[in-house]
Structure 1
């Protein structure tokens, strides 16, 4: 009989028993490093910084889902910038700015929710461009 460490007691050694190695321990599989595609796609919409980083950093730059959401986020940011430029026009520009920003807020929330669920909310012009550039068929 052997103890927990796999060594053989002296009386067993005298009878010719050999030392038995301890049983192999269970080693859990290695965890995948990095973010899931859905988490990266949703994070791309937070600001333009993660969107740009996901377009530059491996392995995200090679994933069509993440690339699509990153490009679409950048398109939304450009639209927000254009609305800001329009806001310098008195009265009519202010109205367009307020309505446009409220619309962008709703679209932004929908995009984050869809990306976190593994889908995509394809915007009319920006989404088509992002789909062509990323290779993601939304």
Structure 2
């Protein structure tokens, strides 16, 4: 009866690493997480790293925002203005994220950080 209640090892969730070793080991991947479609690299390669996953997920949200902004740019005049301002905002958020990752910090990016935590991969 006890055997039926046990979860097989292959089904258990991945244990996340966190701490100074995780940060030092995965800084480069965390930085790459903010470079457009490359945000998928830390999400796929370092599934056990809380640091790399955190920055990769914020990179995904930044990429989604950038795509939405560029779709809006199709609209003449107003879309161009919104697109210009939005692209500048995305660039600033990208730089802030890269600086945070390079410094080993896990700070939420303004506007998108709270949504990144809701991504489950």
Does the TM-score normalized on the shorter chain lie above 0.5?
Answer: yes
TM-score (norm 2): 0.71
TM-score of the pair, normalised by structure 1: 0.63
CA distance in structure 1 between the partners assigned to 2:72 and 2:112 by the alignment:
19
* Match of residue 93, structure 2, among 107, 128, 135: 107
CA RMSD across the alignment: 1.9
The Cα offsets for residues 73-118 of structure 1, whole Å up to 9 and x where unpaired, read as 0111110110111101111110000011011111111110111100
When Rg is computed on C-alpha atoms for both structures, the one with the higher figure is 1
- Structure 1 unmatched ranges of 5 or more: 1-34
Q: CA deviation at 1:125?
A: 4.8
Q: Detail structure 1 runs of 4+ shifted over 2 Å in the superposition.
A: 123-126, 129-134
- Gaps of at least 5 residues in structure 2 are 1-23
Over 3 Å counting, the alpha-carbon distance change for 1:107 and 1:45 in structure 2 is: same
Are residue 89 (structure 1) and residue 75 (structure 2) matched?
Answer: yes
1:39 CA displacement: 1.9
Larger relative helix fraction: 2
Give the match for residue 56 of structure 1: 44
Q: Which residue of 2 aligns with 1:24?
A: none
Measured in 2, the distance between the counterparts of 1:132 and 1:92 equals 31
